[in-house]
Amino acid sequence: MTSNLTIRDRCFEWGRRTYLMGVLNVTPDSFSDGGEFNAIASALAQAQALQSAGADIIDIGGQSTRPGAEQISVTEELNRVLPVLQVLRPEISLPISVDTTRSEVAIAAREAGADIVNDISGGMFDPEMLPSVAKLGVPIILMHMRGTPQTMQKMTDYQDLMGEIGNFFSERIATAIATGIDQQKIIIDPGIGFAKNYEQNLEIFRRLPELRKFNCPILVGPSRKSFIGHILNQPDPKARVWGTAAACCAAIFAGTDILRVHDVKQMHDVCLVADAIFRQS
């Protein structure tokens, strides 16, 4: 990637360095930090900590997407996300993304100051998502998955994993452009852990360079995930920091542009060193 993207007066120069998206789950039930930041005061403190630690984007999510997570109503999602966003926006200078599959939430979040839409369904769950994002004029992250968080772990039977992921992105990118979204504002995410089993997650890491053909920035979210726990025999997601660091380093080597992580301070150091080794100065 050689093109740049400016979001909230910040220029993202793809290929020059790795950018960090800090996770801020304002949910009671996310897999590693549910219930920690779903009060406004704790969410603001965590966002400020992520910014100080070196995050480039803050990603706010009000709907847990862990395997088997219960679907909440649009009203509940809005009630979780908007009060936090309204308090964060005056205090946080970074671009803020909203992690949602619902156009209604995306529109309301944009009005409250969000800058990016991060849709785990790639715009598949809500037919109004891509047209709404086109009207809003904001960047969108299109992630690959199958099924829903409730069903995805039963949908890992692929004939050709990377071929099917590639076909998905070909179709989703074309559809997004056709609805009026600027191609330079499309970011793709292969969806580590979303309808992928242990071996498939590792295969994605090995074959990440194949996604460069889409000429879109690549986001990878390995943070604290179960494939790392499997390798380390570590059931506690918060104890997977070093495993996450190794996965992040591998992703950087493969040309990833954005890493979505919980442990920003530690991964910031990983990025500085890995970028110095792997990226041209």
Q: How far apart are CA 103 and CA 172, in angstroms?
A: 16
Q: What totals of helices (H) and strands (E) does the chain contain, helices first?
A: 9, 10
Q: Does the annotation count 225 as an active-site position?
A: yes
Measuring CA to CA, how many Å separate 253 from each of 32, 139, 240, 273? 26, 25, 20, 11
Q: For residue 171, count other CB atoms closer than 10 A to its CB.
A: 12
Q: Decide if 197 contacts 157 (C-beta within 8 A).
A: no
Q: What is the Cα–Cα distance from 210 to 212, expressed in whole angstroms?
A: 5
Give the DSSP per-residue string, 36-66.
Answer: TS-SHHHHHHHHHHHHHHT-SEEEEESS--S
Measured between alpha carbons, how far is 239 from 231 in angstroms, rounded to an integer? 12
Q: Which of 240, 260, 265, 279 is catalytic?
A: 260
- The residues pairing with 61 across neighbouring beta strands, listed in sequence order, are 25, 99
Q: Where are the alpha helices (DSSP H) in 20-153?
A: 40-53, 74-91, 103-111, 129-136
**How far are the Cα atoms of 53, 71, 245 from residue 268, in angstroms, in the given order?**
7, 33, 10
Q: Tell me, yes or no, if 260 is annotated catalytic.
A: yes
CA distance 101 to 124: 8
Q: Which of 225, 238, 240, 279 is catalytic?
A: 225
Q: Would you name the residues annotated as active-site residues?
A: 225, 260
